Structure formats: C-alpha cells, structure tokens
A and B are shown apart, each in its own frame.
Chain A
Amino acid sequence: MNTQRVWFAFFIVLALTLNFGFFVGEIDNPLHHHPIEFFCALVVSLIATVLKIGDRSHMGAVLLATSLVADFQLIAAAIVWGYASQVTGVVSPSVMASVVSLAGGAMLANLTSVVLLLAETIQLKR
C-alpha cells in the first residue's frame, strides 16, 4: 500500500463529495448552499492539486489538469460570491445560481478525476 496514493485518493474523493453536498439543492436558493461546505470543498480541492504536483506519469499529468480545472472553477465561484456578499452586499438568486453552477462545473472536473483514478486502479488489478 502506498501512503501517497491513499492520501491522494482520499482528497480527490472528499473534494467530490463535499462539492456534491454543496451543489445539491435549489440552484438559486442561498439557504440550500452553505458557505462553510463550499470553503471546505475549495481547500480540499487545492490540497488534491498540490498532491499531484511533480507526478511524471501520463495519468499524473491528466489528474493534475483536471484538479486544476476544479480549482479554477471553485476560485471563480468564490470570487463571484465574495464580491456579491461583501461589495454589493446582496446575494441575489441570479448570483447564487451562477456560484452553484460554477461549483457544478468543478464537480464535473472532480468526477473526471475520480473516474480516471478508478480506471487506473482497475487496470492495476488486471
């Protein structure tokens, strides 16, 4: 068992689950989307990215790319949300909808990572 692989799989799956938890609910209803859950998803996604830095394999490069995509989506969502709540002061349903849809995009990237990870694992078994 490779500890590094355990940690990476842990973080990549956790990023997906947290993101999913944040994503479900009515898209434009702020009550259905908790900021702390979003924060945790972002942090976990960042850590998953860092864990892939320096992996020379082809799979490693693809995984780094997908988790970078997730990071960018989440950071964009954070900026939109932060700007709306702090600068304009109102989180309108339309803003909430775009935050959640950005997070949804990130979730798709996380899902890709998990699928790739599973594919690799299954190949190893054979």
Chain B
Amino acid sequence: MWLLLMELRAPLVTLILTYAVSVLGLVLIPGETTAGEPYAVSFLDAFYIVSYTATTIGYGEIPYAFTETQKLWMLFVMYATVIAWLYSIGSVFSVLSDPKFRRLRAHQRTVSRIHHHKFPFWVLCGFGGAGSQLIRFLDQSGIRCVVVDDNQTRTDTARLSDLSYEVDVITGDVAEPQTLVDAGVTHSRCRGVLALTDQNQVNLTVATNVRILAPRLPVYARSSDDANTRNLRSFDTEVVVDPDRTATHSLVQLIQRPNAYAIYHELVDPDLNRLKLISIPDDGHWIVCASGRLARIIVDAFNHHNVRYCLVSPEPVEAAIRWVAGLGTEASTLRDADVDGASGIIAATEDDGDNLSILLTAQAEHPKLVTVARRNRPTSEPVFSQGNFSVVLREGRLIAQELFARIQTPLLHEFLGQLESMPEPLVAGIFERLAARRTDQDAELSHFAVHLVEAQAPGVIEALAHGSSIPLRVLLSDPGDGHRQLPAICLLVRRLNGDLIPFPGEGCGLQEGDELLIWGEVGVRGRIDWLLGRQDIFESVLANVMQPSRDGH
C-alpha cells in the first residue's frame, strides 16, 4: 500500500508546484477595473481562477476582464495546469486501479476478515476436484471453510462457487507458513486443516507447518504415495487419505458387500439421498483394466480378499495371478481375459477416453456386465454421468466423501468403522427395518446426530432424573399424528463412557449423555428436534407410547 503511494509523490508535487506558480503569477500581475484603475487580484480569486481553469470548467474572467498581460499569463496557466491536473488525477486512478494494488488490498481485506471470524471454520488447501466437492458437502452441514490455492483461476472459481456463505479465498503458496497464518490456522476458531493439493510434497509441508504453528489442530492430508503416507503418519497427521487405496477399498466393498457399499455411499455423500443397491453376480471373475500404482494396489487387495480377477495392463504386475497384456480397448484383449465369463469390468486407466472405450467394447461383448468406470478429469463428467455405467469412481468425490464422514459428525465415522466388520445379512436387515417403517419408499434419506443433554433434550433428562426408563422407540415416535412411528431408525448409540451400541433394538433403554446417530427420511429431523426440545410434548408422548405396554402386562 505505502509502496504504491510512493508512486504518487511525483504527480502530487507537480500539481502543487503548477498551482503555486499559477496562483502567484495571477496575484503579482496587476489587473485593471472596468474604469481603468489598477487592481490586484487577491489570493482567493487567484486560487479560484486557477482551480476552475485546471479542471477545464472555465467560468470566465473575474472579477474584471483580464488585461493583455494577464491573458498571456492565463495562456500559460491553462496549458500547464490542465496537463498537470490530468497527469496527477490519471496517476492516482492508475495506482488505485492497478491489478497488483487491488490484489494486495483484497488480500489484506480477506486476511483481516478471516482474523475476525466469529464462527468455526476449516482451512482447505487446494481447490481441485476433492476440495471443490468437499466444500460443498461441508456447506450442506453448515460447516464453513477458508480456501487457499496458488492458482488464480482456481481461486476465482472458489470465490464464485455457489455456497450459502461468502467464502474467504486466499491466493498463495500453501507451502509457505505465512500463507497458512494468513488463512487463519493460528486462529482460535480454526477447527482443522485439509491439505488436498495434488502434490504430495506440498501436502506434507502443510502438515509439518501446521504441526508447529498450531500443534493441536487436526490435519487431514491427501497422499498418493506410500513413503509420503508413512512420513505424514510419523508425526501423527490425524487422517491420511490415499485416492488409489480409497478407490480400491470401495471396489472390494462393492464386489463383496454391496449392501454395505450402498449404505456407506448414502451416508457419506450428501448428494446421494437414496439407497442405490447394485446387484453383483458372484459366479464370474472381474476384469481389471488399470496400470501403474493403482493396478498394484487393486491386485494386492483382490488377492487378499479372494476376489477372482484378470488384470489387463500394458505392463505385468508381479503379484497378479492372471494377466493379459494390452489396454483393454480392443475386443480381442477382452476376449483373452474371458469377457463372456466375467461378472464385471473395472476400467481404471488414467485416460478417460480409454476408460470409455474399454467399457463400450465390453458392453458390446457382454451386455450384462457390471461396469465400473474411473473418471479422471472433472471435465469428462457429462459422458460418465450420461453413460450407462453401474458405478463411476471419481477420485475427488471419493476423497471428499471420506473426509466428510470424519468432519461432519464423529458418530458417523464411528458407525462406518462398525460397518466394516458387520456381516452382509445384518446390513440387509437394517434396510428391511427401515423399509418397514416407511410409507413412501422413494423419499430422500438423511442422517443426523442427537445428543441427550439438558440443552438439547430437557424432557428426556427430566424423565430420566425421575427414574423412568425411556426405550428408544419413544424417540422415534411422531410427536403429533397419533404418535405413529417415524420413518427412521437409530444406527448407533454412543454412551457417555464411550461404549458403542450398533443398531440398538427399539427397546434399548436410553441414558443421559447418550449420542444417537439417526437415519431416516429427510423430514424426520424436524419432528425429533421438536419432540426433544419441548418438555411438555415429550412427556405426553412418553405417557402415550408407554401406555399400551403397561396394559399388556
């Protein structure tokens, strides 16, 4: 700011000097009244005349018509002051509208706004595929972010993205500690840092810098390299997400546990509000078209989980049990990989065109294949969403889902951990229990957490204090509408002592301090919040719901 003001010195001095000389000249040159008597122009008149001449307004000759000498002087004044005026004003405006100056001002304003934030926020480093997806997911849960990226185009996109709040965006190199400080990592309201740039080294630098700048702040980092991941974990980076491993995990889940896959994606993806079950035939093998690191990881995971497969890749992979050389884009390669006997095909090369070509060829060969497409570039989205594929793997979205599950509510992450070891039939059982409570099977689904504490559920705490036992089904009753069952189920209860109860039965007794993860139709949340928030309503529902069971005994 001050440096730019220095550029204004010369024009301002020029302006002052020209004005001074012009005014002085007018004062010193004698004038004449209309009667021909000598008259001296006063400083006020002189300054007035010079001012209106310089700004090209030109009111005329006051207070008396000019003498020849005065006219000569005025000629000088006109040219000198008009030029000086335009030059100075021009310089002022060019400094003010200088892109460098404006960027600097905008940056300073953003930084000061961030440092005055009154609400909690996350610092998101890297506004690529994952970052742009995650910020939208978090916005839907009312969690705000500050975006940092070194690319002007991407930060412009971030600034213009359609969010419910005005996002603060900083253009700068996140690998530099000052940028992180500007973005507010040392701010008391900062909840964590998301290092999601596509360079492992940069993410690592962000994580180390945050460790020192704000040791207690959680860091969630992306890493697509095993050595880098180990490095990040060595200084306790809270979460490290590897896009290739996440995609592979997703594939294994899809193939072996389609129910868990469906519930996982409904819960972690705010854009997907329905259970999308994909039926997976279990008789055939899977054709995997991939190369490089992803191919190695998929091969390892499939070997470990006993998934039958045939790898199609240009280079052989050491651990691969069955391997066919080629890209997979040609029918002959696919026939070599026994496409007719396959259950599904995974097109996961690094080229979107190849992936599309593989899947179209495979569909022509064997129309009933389960098709999994890997989408690399966000700009290819239209063909992948229009194409008739069973599953589309989007790297950015997978990372965003993974991180969203951890940020949104810790309960959700706990539940997903339980889900990992849950047998398939049990997961199918949940779907049936939810379906039984629903009247409209097409309504959108959502999940939320409920905390049984005085502030959120006064009625529950009061009743518990009086020694009554409250079964879970009371909470899942509609406060109006004859206390019918709400179309929702409880996925997880976390007790105050840390005990976890996955899929509690409807008779499960609630305790003070319980946290519940509830999953159901979109409107349910409002009903439950109403029931819990109003003590009188809760008491009447409790009495009403408990009545029949008392009669029964």
Contacts and interface: CB of A to CB of B under 8 A. Distances in A.
Contacts of B235: none
Determine the interface band of chain A, counting residues with CB < 8 A from chain B. 10 to 19
A53 B6 contact: yes
Interface stretch (A21-29, A43-51, A93-101, A105-113): A43-51
Contact of A50 (B3, B12, B27, B42): B12
B11 to A, nearest CB: 9
B6 A36 contact: no
Given A39-B24, A43-B20, A46-B16, A51 B44 contact: no
Nearest to A83: B44
Interface residues of B, number: 22
Nearest to A60: B2
Given A86-B42, A86-B44, A53 B20 contact: no
A85 B42 contact: yes
A50 B13 contact: yes
Which of A39, A55, A82 has the most chain B CB within a 10 Å cutoff?
Answer: A39
A19 to B, nearest CB: 15
Interface in B13-34: 13, 16-17, 19-20, 23-24, 27-28
Contacts of B20: 39-40, 43
Given A39-B43, A86-B42, A50 B24 contact: no
Nearest to B4: A54
Given A43-B20, A46-B16, A82-B44, A53 B5 contact: yes
Interface residue SS majority, chain B = helix
Interface string A51-89: 101111000000000000000000000100010011000
A110 to B, nearest CB: 17
A40 B7 CA distance: 25
B449 interface: no
A47 to B, nearest CB: 5
B254 interface: no
B470 interface: no
Contacts, number: 52
Interface in B29-58: 42-45
B9 interface: yes
B8 interface: yes
B12 A35 contact: no
Nearest to A11: B13
Given A39-B23, A82-B44, A85-B42, A54 B17 contact: no
A35 B43 CA distance: 8
B9 A50 contact: yes
B9 A54 contact: yes
Given A39-B23, A82-B43, A86-B42, A54 B12 contact: no
A63 B500 CA distance: 69
Contacts of A47: 13, 16-17
Contacts of B42: 85-86
Nearest to A56: B2
A24 B20 CA distance: 23
Nearest to A61: B2
B43 A43 contact: no
Given A39-B43, A56-B2, 11 more contacts: A40-B20, A43-B19, A47-B17, A50-B9, A53-B6, A53-B8, A53-B12, A54-B2, A55-B2, A55-B6, A86-B42
11 contacts: A50-B8, A50-B13, A50-B16, A51-B9, A51-B13, A53-B6, A54-B9, A55-B2, A55-B6, A78-B43, A86-B45
Interface of B: 2-9, 12-13, 16-17, 19-20, 23-24, 27-28, 42-45
The 9 closest A-B pairs by CB, nearest first: A54-B6, A43-B20, A54-B5, A50-B12, A86-B44, A82-B44, A54-B2, A46-B16, A56-B2
